[in-house]
Every structure is written in structure tokens, then in C-alpha cells.
Chains A and B, each alone.
Chain A
Amino acid sequence: MNDLFFLLVPVLLLIAVVIIYNGIVGKFNAVDRAWASVLTQERQKNKIIPHVEKLVEDYKLHESSVLADVTRLRNSIAELAKPSSAAPDTAKLAQAEKYTASLLQGLKVAVEAYPELKASDLYLKLMAEISEQQEQIGAALRIFNRNVEEFNNAIQMFPGSLVNSLLNHKQPLQSFTDSEAQAGFDYKPNL
């Protein structure tokens, strides 16, 4: 009986360690996938660029900043597609988001100068698409942040912290924060 006990305890411990180890790996991969999903959504903006260009062409918006914003957005999306280090490059994403905001602002200014644009079918569809894409990116980021939280909990809470320090050697990941939005607050949590 005693022999069986001494054999059973290490076997159970080994199984537990394997489960925790795999759990950490799985959660890290989930973060990776969630980040890929964020980038996929950001790249979806490529879909709107031809429509914006058509809008510029149809309504002769050449003098407005819209075309310049489109170019900058296109470049930043192309930048996102380039492979980077293993850690999520949130700076590139923030840049693309900044250019999207700038494009939206440019379109709004153009609407003020060209009232007939506001009623155009293409403009309405374009705005609906941009707003939906922003919603998708927001959702993708929230999913990413939730996965980051789960991963960080897995490597920082006991017994995951023990298994991670001995075997996985993973570092805690940073969740995505909007630096521009953060700049609007005086308060900063001491995280």
C-alpha cells in the first residue's frame, strides 16, 4: 500500500506539472492568436481604401487632406503586415489607429465643404464600414487584453508561477492601451 502511495504521488505531481505547463503554452498561443486577430481586423481597412479613393475622384476632393491620410493609412497597414519580434508590436497598431482617426477627421471636414457628399450613398456606406471596422478592432483588442490577463494570471499565480520559473520561462505580457486616450487623464494607475 505504502509503495503504491509513493509511486502514485510523483505520478500525480508529474501529471499536474504537465497540465500546468501545457496550460501556460496554450494561453500564450491564445494571446498570439488574439493579437493576430487584431492585426487581421486592422488590415481589413485595406477594403475601404479603394472606396475612399473613388470618393475623392467622384467629388474632386484633391485639395483636401483625405488623399494624404489614405496614403499614410495604407503604409501603416503595410507596416503591420511585416513580421516583427515575437512580442506584439502595439506601437505599429497605435500608429495605424491614429491614421484612421485622421482619415475620419479629414472626411468629416470634406463633408462640411461638400454638403452633397453627406447624402451620397457611397459616403454613408463608407462611414458605416469604418465605424464597424473600428468596432471590430475594439472587440479584438478587448479579447486580446482578456487573453493577456489570463496568460499573466497563469504565470504569476501559484502553482503556475513555480512551473513557469522552472520550465516555461515566460515573461508577463502588456495589455494594449491607447496612449492618446490615456493622455487625456491626469490619473495614472501605479501598475
Chain B
Amino acid sequence: MRYNQQVSTNIAQLKEKIEAATCQQDLVRTIRSLENHPGPLDYNDKLWVVISMLFLGLGGLTLFSIFSRSLPYEFDYWLRVVLIYSQYWLPLVATVLWQLWREEKGKVRFLSRHFKTPSQRVVVVAGVTLALVLIPYWGALYWGALQILTLLVSGGGFASSELGLPMLLVVSGGIIWWRSYRRKHWRRPLSERISLLDILFNNGLKALPFKRKEKAKELGQQFKEFIRGNDLREIQHLYQGHYEGGLHSFDYRLYRFHYVVRRTETYTDSKGNTRTRVVRNSYYRHGLLLHFPFARGLSLEGGSGISFSGEEYTTASNEFNRLFSVRADKEIAAARFLSPAVIEAMLAMASEYSRPVLEINVRGDLCFAFNNDDMLEYKRHYNLENPVEFASEIAKHDELKKLDGLLFQMHNLMRLTDNNFEL
């Protein structure tokens, strides 16, 4: 118990160091510190894994027995005996696990006043539970509670403790196993976080503080691109960077937008009744925000499913007209912006980005959005499980080639739409 507590403390310290890193060297130092870390850094969850396996096995076998009825009679008999006696052992196992979890989290203030060691406290909790399960009518209470739970989980569909118990065992066994698995592999998500921070440092990107829904609402007031879906709209990532081009330099923000489309669909249940249910589908868009002072009030929509208002404009290129629908506050704004070289640049971008939208609002702010999710893509061969190799991998300078390409294209649009004699 104290061992796992120490592991949690060590991992928390490591996370703190990583989050406090201000440069690549900080990250490399933190990774290298793992090589000679005094530990412990790996949880001892053997008991939890064994219990999860027992729950999963017992629950799975019982469900198999109920639905197939093909288990040998003796086996089936003993299985049912074990389940009937679950009114005694299940509360006992549950409370012991609960106490172990509390011990690890340090939430034992009340009991620690009277019982000094964790083992004493676990024995006390087990003893109290045992006393509770031995009181008269406990069985009726237990099976009744299981029936109510089954009724609630099935949405009022059925109330059978025969089915409810194995399902409860499978679900709780699965949760315990998943928790143990995540704790065993805690290095992986932390390695991904390190990789992301490294790539941000390498490319001069900074994570901006923001409130997810409020930011989406704010951007929705500036760009129609963010008015999608009819349920949740939120910005999930927002990074700020600076691009230094040959002619122009600009600040930009890179984002990830999540929106949900809610719809009601009808279906026929097992009894043949027509019912309705609400279905929510999540979608993600990515893009770049920057100030673009060379055009205003126009949009180029490349099949992403939103319609813009304004005057319609078609260009001299058949290919472009098939891919983009152009709308502008004034037709002349679109005519000025869409010079032949810009049309070609947009055609090149349309072949690279899925369902692109280029929107420039009346304030001269540009939003280029698409479905591609690879702007911050980076490939790593190692993680914290191999700290030496991972540290040397992180120490390298990794450039985001796709992001650089996109920024170059934005700079190209600026170059082609500016006035060379007013620079």
C-alpha cells in the first residue's frame, strides 16, 4: 500500500517536472533522470489483476451458462453455488478493495486515529463487513438491491438478479482490469505528452490558455466555419506561433475544433415496437487563424458542407469552380483576390487538404480549415520505457513539415495578393 503510494508520488513529481519544462533541454534532463531513479516507479497491482480476472471469468462463464446452457451439470451447479454465496464474499471483496484504494489515496483519517497500520485498518473494514453480511435479512437486501440495479441499468427493461450479478461482475472486473492496465503502462501517455511538448518547443509553438466552449463561441462570431453541428462546439487545442517569411511575417494560431451533430432516429426494438433514440456523432476540424490584411469579406468553400452568404463568384478555371464555391461581400473583392496564381495555389491546397474552407472576415482575419489531422504529427520509435533512447530521440530537432508547408502556402497567398510597391 505504501509502495503504491510512493509510486504515485514519484510519477506525480515526474509529471510536474515535465509540465514545468520551458525548453527541450528540460525535457531531456527529466527523461535522463529516470535512468538512475531510485524508484519505485512501477505499481504492484497483482491483487487487483487477480481479482479482475476472477470477476471476469466468473461473470463471463455465468453469462455463457445462462445463454448457451451447454456447461456440464456439475460445473454449472458449483458455479451457481459460488454465485449464491456472493451475498457474503462479494461485499467483503468490494469493501477490502475500497479500503485498499483509500489507503493508497491517503483517505484514512478517521480509521487512522484508532488503527495505526494499513493492515489493521483493512482487517477492521473486512470485520465490519463480515458482521454486516451475517445479520438477518441481509440476503433479501442484497438480492433486492441487485434487482433494482439491473432494472436501472437496463432502463426498466428487466429485473433479474440471475443476469444482473454476472453482468455486474463482468463490468466491475473490466473496470478493475482497465485501471490496472493503465497504471502498468503509465509511461505511454506521459511519453506522448513529452513528445508533444518537444514538438511545440522545436517549432516555436506555445499552448494558449482558453475555455473550450467559450472560445468556440467567440470564434463562431468571427467565422462561419465554427458554426457547425447542433450540439456541442468546443476548441480542444490552441497553439500560437510566429512565421518569418521572405516578405511577410505573421503570428498564427493552430486549433482543433470538435463539434457534435445530434439527431433523432427511429428503430424497432426486440419486441417489434417502434422507438426513437438520440444519436450524437462527433466531428473534428483543424485549421489556422491569422491576420490577412490583403483581402476582406470572402469565403472559399471546398465541400465541407456549410453555405456562406454573399455574392457568388466563379473564376476562369473550370477545375477551381468544380472544387470551390466562392462567396464575397463584394464581387470585386473575390475578383481581386482570385488572381490566376492564387487559383493555382488554392488548387494545390485542395489536393493536399481534405474539405478545405478559406474564410476572410470583414476585419481581415483569415481562417483556413480542413479535415486533416496531421499538422502536429510526429513519429517516435521509443518512449519512457527506454529512457536512454527516448532522451536522444527527444534531443533531436524535429520540424513539423506539414505545418511549415501550410505556413509557406499562407505566405505565398500574401505575396500574391499584396501590393509590391506599398511594401
**A-to-B contact residues, CB < 8 Å:** 27, 30, 33-34, 36-38, 41, 51, 125, 128-129, 132, 135-140, 142-144, 146-147, 150
| Residue in A51, A125, A143 whose CB lies within 8 Å of B340 | A143
| Residue in A132, A142, A146 whose CB lies within 8 Å of B415 | A132
A109 → chain B, closest Cβ, in Å? 22
Choose, from B15-23, B145-153, B315-323, B370-378, the stretch at the interface.
B315-323
Ordered by A's residue number, 23 sampled pairs between the chains whose C-beta atoms are within 8 Å are A30-B318, A34-B317, A36-B316, A38-B340, A41-B340, A125-B421, A128-B420, A129-B421, A132-B420, A135-B341, A136-B340, A136-B341, A136-B416, A139-B339, A139-B340, A140-B340, A142-B340, A143-B316, A143-B343, A146-B318, A146-B319, A147-B316, A147-B318
* Complex interface bits, B153-193 against A, C-beta within 8 A gives 1, otherwise 0: 00000000000000000000000000000000000000000
Q: B316 to A37, Cβ gap below 8 A? A: yes
* Complex interface bits, B312-351 against A, C-beta within 8 A gives 1, otherwise 0: 0000111110000000000000000001110110000000
User: Across the interface, which residues of B come within 8 angstroms of A142, CB to CB?
Assistant: 340, 344
Q: B416 to A146, Cβ gap below 8 A? A: no
Q: A129 to B340, Cβ gap below 8 A? A: no
User: Across the interface, which residues of A come within 8 angstroms of B421, CB to CB?
Assistant: 51, 125, 129
Q: Complex formed: what's the CA distance from A94 to B70 in Å?
A: 88
- Say if the beta carbon of B423 comes within 8 Å of chain A: yes
Q: A30-B316, A146-B318 are in contact. Are A139 and B344 (CB under 8 A)?
A: yes
User: Across the interface, which residues of A come within 8 angstroms of B316, CB to CB?
Assistant: 30, 33-34, 36-37, 140, 143-144, 147
Closest to B347 in A: A143
A121 → chain B, closest Cβ, in Å? 9
User: Across the interface, which residues of A come within 8 angstroms of B416, CB to CB?
Assistant: 132, 135-136
Q: Complex formed: what's the CA distance from A24 to B423 in Å?
A: 44
Closest to A37 in B: B316
Q: A150 to B318, Cβ gap below 8 A? A: yes
User: Across the interface, which residues of A come within 8 angstroms of B341, CB to CB?
Assistant: 132, 135-136, 138-139
Q: Complex formed: what's the CA distance from A143 to B342 in Å?
A: 11
Closest to B342 in A: A139
User: Across the interface, which residues of A come within 8 angstroms of B317, CB to CB?
Assistant: 34, 143, 146-147
Given A38-B340, A143-B317, list of 16 further CB < 8 A pairs?
A30-B316, A36-B316, A125-B420, A125-B421, A125-B423, A128-B420, A129-B421, A132-B341, A136-B339, A136-B341, A139-B344, A142-B344, A143-B344, A146-B317, A146-B319, A147-B318
Q: Complex formed: what's the CA distance from A36 to B340 in Å?
A: 12
User: Across the interface, which residues of B come within 8 angstroms of A129, CB to CB?
Assistant: 420-421
Q: B318 to A27, Cβ gap below 8 A? A: yes
Closest to A50 in B: B421
User: Across the interface, which residues of B come within 8 angstroms of A38, CB to CB?
Assistant: 340
Closest to A150 in B: B318
B50 → chain A, closest Cβ, in Å? 69
User: Across the interface, which residues of B come within 8 angstroms of A30, CB to CB?
Assistant: 316, 318
User: Across the interface, which residues of A come within 8 angstroms of B339, CB to CB?
Assistant: 41, 136, 139
A117 → chain B, closest Cβ, in Å? 17
Q: A27-B318, A33-B316, A146-B319 are in contact. Are A139 and B420 (CB under 8 A)?
A: no
User: Across the interface, which residues of A come within 8 angstroms of B318, CB to CB?
Assistant: 27, 30, 146-147, 150
A122 → chain B, closest Cβ, in Å? 9
User: Across the interface, which residues of B come within 8 angstroms of A146, CB to CB?
Assistant: 317-319
User: Across the interface, which residues of B come within 8 angstroms of A51, CB to CB?
Assistant: 421
B421 → chain A, closest Cβ, in Å? 5
User: Across the interface, which residues of B come within 8 angstroms of A37, CB to CB?
Assistant: 316, 340
User: Across the interface, which residues of B come within 8 angstroms of A41, CB to CB?
Assistant: 339-340
Highest count of chain B CB atoms <10 Å: which of A33, A34, A143? A143
Q: Complex formed: what's the CA distance from A138 to B423 in Å?
A: 23
* Shortest 4 CB-CB contacts between residues of A and residues of B: A139-B340, A140-B340, A129-B420, A37-B316
Closest to B419 in A: A129
Highest count of chain A CB atoms <10 Å: which of B317, B343, B416, B423? B317
A11 → chain B, closest Cβ, in Å? 28
Highest count of chain A CB atoms <10 Å: which of B316, B319, B423? B316
Q: Complex formed: what's the CA distance from A150 to B317 in Å?
A: 11
B242 → chain A, closest Cβ, in Å? 23
Closest to B421 in A: A125
Q: Complex formed: what's the CA distance from A150 to B321 in Å?
A: 13
A43 → chain B, closest Cβ, in Å? 13
A176 → chain B, closest Cβ, in Å? 13
B116 → chain A, closest Cβ, in Å? 81
Closest to A32 in B: B316
A29 → chain B, closest Cβ, in Å? 10
